[in-house]
Amino acid sequence: MDALFKEVDPLRQASRDTVRELGMLQEKFGDFGVSMAQCHSLIELGHRGVLTAGELAEILRLDKSTMSRVVAGLKRAGLIAIRDAARDKRKKPLMLTARGKKKLERIHQHSNRQVQDALALLNEDDRKTVVAGMAMYAKALARSRAQREFEVRRIEERDNPEVAGIIRRVMPEFGADGPGFAIHDPEVDFMSKAYAGKKAGYWVLAKNGTIVGGGGFAGLISGPKDVCELRKMYFLPEVRGAGMGRKLLEHVLVEAKKAGFKRCYLETLATMTRARALYEAAGFEKICEPMGATGHFGCDSWMIRRL
Amino acid sequence: MDALFKEVDPLRQASRDTVRELGMLQEKFGDFGVSMAQCHSLIELGHRGVLTAGELAEILRLDKSTMSRVVAGLKRAGLIAIRDAARDKRKKPLMLTARGKKKLERIHQHSNRQVQDALALLNEDDRKTVVAGMAMYAKALARSRAQREFEVRRIEERDNPEVAGIIRRVMPEFGADGPGFAIHDPEVDFMSKAYAGKKAGYWVLAKNGTIVGGGGFAGLISGPKDVCELRKMYFLPEVRGAGMGRKLLEHVLVEAKKAGFKRCYLETLATMTRARALYEAAGFEKICEPMGATGHFGCDSWMIRRL
DNA sequence: GAAGATTGAAACCTCAATCTTT
DNA sequence: AAAGATTGAGGTTTCAATCTTC
């Protein structure tokens, strides 16, 4: 495993202290007669209006059974009620009662005060750092967790239909379905075979057993021996923005380097803006002319980087 | 109540998200077979070596009864043991067993990985912001809580002996006990009476019912009508650094302004470095000559600020 | 009496199994 | 069968009362 960032230890330390100071190790929330989980549920209901128990469980990262009992407690206390008349009778949409709103108001006052008093000890710059740091940490933790649900693995024969389907779905999305595009390569239906050699490879991105993207490399046809081409890297729209493009790209490049290549070349389209931002962030640089003879004369953008 | 800083709401939001992502709303810590409180106890014992249940409760901000049962659970699991042979038989010093150390090691690995994975999504500057922000927040929360144990109130007659004791203890600490110092003012033994008028006031700082400091104002003798003097502001050494000097000073200045004064003057000593830093931070500016006729010719440093 | 720790009763959280509706 | 929610059994946390040692 890689060496840890030097920030890990002090961050964990400070995070533990924060959690303890905020009383998060305690079951109850102050003198409000509600548990920590109940308190968070009230806040979230106040924020979003109507939520089912399942949605709350997802948001608070709690087990649905826990949530069920949390909700039962809040209902017993008259703080929330089920909004009836839902189409799907399995769902029970929850919302705050007037009493619940009042209780929530007092909770907010108390917490606002606690946070306000702490922030009052800092100057404006430090306050900004605290907010920015906490926001970035929360977001990074969430993204990191989301990424854990993905798996990158080498393509297998049984994956071929799914992978072909993704290629044929994504490329037209960017207008890359006319002549001179990779969508017409004969290999599209037999990717596992086409990238089986030692000097090539293709990997799929899977989520819950379903393939949602892929990418690979192979030697650049009619190009210098030490140059490989990044090939057919595509993701379904629903998984874009999760940062998995970067992960898969890194994976492919590491493997390409292992295979002995010194540089990696790629062809893309100016309209694929997010992909090109990714390539640039990964160290690829624009070049003005295509290399080799890929036959993909539909592409209008060429990049290369050292491995 | 004052308006809230604009940072309060986003900070609370991000803090809630962080807490949820870290699984702090859950009872159990991962698949390690320990509760959240047990996990924190192990970490703290690993960090500090030997602790009693009471000390752990203080550190984790948990009730001693909770701690008792947390400790019982860890003992039952063979993760901690009581180090015997304590002089005071009421205390039971706890420490990790070999098994406990092994378990802690695995917990650290798991948490390090989680934090590392999240930080890997950020660049170095952002990682620094996250750590700095979290550290400052933890510290501010702790200081703010500590401050809540203090009380600032107007001096009463019964306080006079205690206040006199503080003045007579603190001033000699800084060599301010020779001739020309306020320690010899006749008012020292009757502060409540001396500062009873409408154009004066004295407040004490109390902690757990004991007075630990004080400060006040009165019109500057033989000075301009609109100038008051900050008088006899002293704190016991054990409460210095808690930020209460600033709080009391602010309180006194607000009251002085309410009494109609436009400026506040003070006399101090170059050796009282922390006090002078406080005055400067509060907007006082050094002047080269004394004002009025306080009779405290022992002082060598004079400051003033607009109210 | 106070400091340090434990315990009874009650509420809370969790896993796995179960129920209801689609 | 799957989605949404509940429940039984067992561990965790809490308040107040209690015990032990100084």
Residues by CB within 7 A of strand D: list them: A 25-28, 52-55, 64-65, 67-69, 71-72, 88, 90-92; B 27, 34-38, 62-63, 65-66, 69-70, 73, 88-90
> What is residue B218's three-state secondary structure?
strand
Residue B224's φ and ψ, nearest 5 degrees, are -60, 150
Q: Show residues of chain B in contact with A142, CB under 8 Å.
A: 17, 21
Instruction: Say yes or no for a CB contact (<8 Å) between B116 and A5.
Output: yes
Q: Show residues of chain A in contact with B110, CB under 8 Å.
A: none
Interface size, chain A vs chain B, as Cβ–Cβ contacts under 8 Å: 214
Neighbouring residues of B4: CB distance < 8 A, sequence distance ≥ 6? A112, A116
Residue of chain A nearest B59, judged by CA positions: A20
pTM of the model: 0.86
Which helix (H) or strand (E) segment holds residue B193: the answer is helix B191-194
Question: What's the rounded Cα separation, in Å, for the pair B233 and B268?
Answer: 10
Instruction: List pLDDT tens digits, range A3-51.
Output: 899 999 999 999 999 999 999 999 999 889 999 999 999 999 999 999 9
Question: What's the rounded Cα separation, in Å, for the pair A45 and A52?
Answer: 10
Beta-strand relationship, B285-287 and B301-306: antiparallel
Contact A4, B116 (CB under 8 A): yes
> What is residue B208's three-state secondary structure?
coil
Query: Is the pLDDT score of A106 beyond 80?
Result: yes
Report helix angle B124-148 to A124-147, nearest 10. 120
| Burial bucket for residue B253 (CB in 10 Å: 0-12, 13-18, 19+) | buried
Query: Is the pLDDT score of A1 beyond 70?
Result: no
If pLDDT is split at 50, 70 and 90, which confidence band does A177 have? Answer: confident
Question: What's the rounded Cα separation, in Å, for the pair B202 and B194?
Answer: 9
pLDDT at position B89? 82
Question: What's the rounded Cα separation, in Å, for the pair A153 and A147?
Answer: 14
Instruction: Say yes or no for a CB contact (<8 Å) between A128 and B7.
Output: yes
Instruction: List pLDDT tens digits, range B226-247.
Output: 999 999 999 999 899 889 999 9
| Type of residue at A69 | R
Which helix (H) or strand (E) segment holds residue B215: the answer is strand B210-219
Residue B228's φ and ψ, nearest 5 degrees, are -110, 165
pLDDT at position A72? 92
Number of residues in chain B? 307
Give the position of tokens 């990714």.
Answer: A278
In angstroms and rounded to an integer, the radius of gyration of the C-alpha atoms of chain B is 26
Instruction: List pLDDT tens digits, range B70-103.
Output: 999 999 999 999 887 667 888 889 999 999 999 9
Interface membership of A137 toward B (CB under 8 Å)? yes
Residue of chain A nearest B62, judged by CA positions: A26
Half-sphere exposure of A226 (CA within 13 A, CB side): 5
